[in-house]
């Protein structure tokens, strides 16, 4: 179960109209409220009614949500909080009542609506698919105080880890911030426009990992990056001139409208590809060594561990694929539109590749999430 806290906004009405609308690809099916600050008993009164013209009237719900904001003496500039909570495709179907309980748990965990607090913020949970819900709240409590929701992303993730265990859902890895960053919509759109099957971020991550796997020093790492056709620049320390504190890479053919390269730092590609992490790896002689002929050797234990973890990832993916319904339109789901660009590639071989790259970062690298 993955929560995604969005950017805060100003117009709760615009967000509600989008959530109750058809969606960008008409993926919203039977949108409805499943939870609110008044409990499930008031959902019928809060649900935006459908008029004679077939359109919903959101005015009453918007007014109720914005009342604390309008009455506050000094409300924050951005008052709308939004968080989506999605279950994995292979997870069992959850009822509206179960999603309502999950919504309350997440709202309490982030501190916006603690259990038993009648003066907390006003919020609703909208469901328009079988897989998840959207939480919408205004960030002024009913007693006039601002609810800042500090560290809401980490708190929502911690709450979802507990919910996964309680409901028997697929377990997601811990929130240690070591997962590789996924490409954004702008990157996917540009890759599709250029006719590329992968984004620049994914391509760079693979080439950098390949260079790391065959390097035992910083100089060799840079040489391998340049041999792979990448542009490389170092960031120098502002305290100790001449000392490198980071690096960034770019594809020569991937440029901006002005012809400038689009740079990605190692840490933006993946946490374990930052220069400090790589230096710690090269400084540890336990994970790998040079053979007498000068070739790079990985210990037998490290290879066995990497392959075992890669095989486990493939098995998990196969179980997920086998459990998916043959008819994508079952249970009211609409088949998704095929996409020409898939972040990081797809299929079992891509999973083995990515798992081996991560597992190769021994002994200091992150543990593979299963």
Per residue in 255-275, pLDDT (tens digit) is 888 889 999 998 888 888 889
Same domain, 161 and 195: no
End of a domain among 122, 141, 167?
167
In this predicted structure, what is the pLDDT of residue 354? Answer: 59
Q: Rounded to whole angstroms, how far apart are CA atoms 250 and 248?
A: 7
Same domain, 17 and 162: yes
- For residue range 59-85, list pLDDT tens digits in order: 999 999 999 999 999 999 999 999 999
Main-chain dihedrals φ then ψ at residue 127, nearest 5 degrees: -120, 125
Domain at 137, CATH number: 3.30.930
Determine the structural domain holding residue 293 and report its residue range: 185-359
In this predicted structure, what is the pLDDT of residue 79? Answer: 95
In this predicted structure, what is the pLDDT of residue 23? Answer: 86
Residue ranges of the chain with per-residue pLDDT less than 50: 288-290, 292, 324-340, 346, 360-370
Q: Rounded to whole angstroms, how far apart are CA atoms 182 and 201?
A: 8
Is 172 among the domain residues? no
Print burial letters for 314-337: b (CB count within 10 Å at least 16), e (below 16). Answer: eeebeeeeeeeeeeeeeeebeeee
Same domain, 154 and 279: no
In this predicted structure, what is the pLDDT of residue 154? Answer: 92
Same domain, 135 and 281: no
Is 173 among the domain residues? no
In this predicted structure, what is the pLDDT of residue 332? Answer: 44
Same domain, 156 and 238: no
User: Which runs of E-coded beta strand occur in the chain?
Assistant: 2-5, 32-36, 80-86, 123-127, 132-138, 231-236, 244-250, 264-265, 288-290, 296-298
Is 257 among the domain residues? yes
In this predicted structure, what is the pLDDT of residue 96? Answer: 95
In this predicted structure, what is the pLDDT of residue 368? Answer: 37
Tell me how far apart the terminal alpha carbons of the chain are, to the nearest angstrom. 13
Same domain, 269 and 340: yes
| CB-based contact 91:169 (threshold 8 Å) | yes
Q: DSSP state, 258?
A: T
Q: Rounded to whole angstroms, how far apart are CA atoms 245 and 30?
A: 52
Give the tokens for residue 85: 């909570």
Between the alpha carbon of residue 160 and those of residues 102, 107, 166, 264, 320, the distances in Å are 8, 11, 10, 31, 20
pTM: 0.57
How many independent structural domains does the chain possess? 2
CA angle 234, 342, 208 (to 5 degrees): 25
């Amino acid at each position: 179960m993955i929560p995604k806290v969005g950017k805060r906004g100003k117009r709760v009405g615009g967000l509600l109209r989008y959530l109750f609308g058809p969606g960008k690809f008409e993926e919203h099916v039977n949108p409805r409220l499943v939870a609110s600050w008044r409990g499930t008993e008031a959902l019928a009164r809060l649900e935006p009614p459908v008029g004679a013209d077939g359109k919903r009237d959101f005015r009453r719900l918007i007014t109720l949500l914005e009342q604390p904001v309008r009455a506050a003496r000094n409300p924050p500039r951005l008052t709308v909080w939004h968080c989506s909570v999605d279950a994995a495709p292979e997870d069992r179907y959850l009822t509206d009542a179960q999603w309502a309980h999950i919504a309350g748990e997440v709202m309490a965990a982030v501190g916006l609506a603690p259990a038993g607090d009648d003066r907390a913020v006003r919020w609703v949970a909208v469901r328009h698919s079988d897989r998840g819900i959207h939480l919408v709240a205004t960030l002024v409590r009913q007693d006039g105080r601002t609810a800042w929701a500090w560290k809401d992303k980490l708190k929502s993730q911690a709450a979802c880890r507990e919910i996964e265990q309680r409901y028997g859902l697929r377990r997601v890895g811990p929130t240690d911030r070591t997962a590789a960053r996924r490409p954004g919509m702008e990157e996917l759109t540009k890759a599709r426009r250029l006719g590329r099957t992968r984004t620049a971020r994914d391509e760079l991550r693979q080439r950098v990992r390949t260079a790391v796997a065959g390097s035992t020093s910083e100089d060799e790492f840079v040489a391998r990056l340049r041999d792979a056709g990448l542009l490389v620049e170092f960031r120098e320390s502002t305290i100790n001139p001449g000392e490198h504190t980071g690096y960034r890479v770019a594809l020569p053919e991937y440029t901006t409208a002005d012809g400038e390269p689009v740079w990605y730092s190692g840490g933006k590609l993946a946490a374990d590809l930052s220069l400090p992490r790589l230096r710690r790896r090269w400084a540890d002689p336990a994970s790998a060594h040079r053979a007498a002929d000068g070739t790079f050797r990985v210990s037998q234990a490290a290879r066995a561990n990497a392959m075992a973890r890669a095989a486990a990832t493939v098995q998990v993916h196969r179980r997920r694929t086998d459990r998916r319904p043959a008819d994508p339109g079952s249970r009211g789901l609409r088949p998704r539109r095929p996409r020409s660009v898939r972040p990081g590639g797809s299929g079992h071989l891509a999973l083995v590749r990515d798992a081996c790259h991560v597992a190769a970062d021994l002994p200091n690298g992150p543990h593979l999430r299963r």
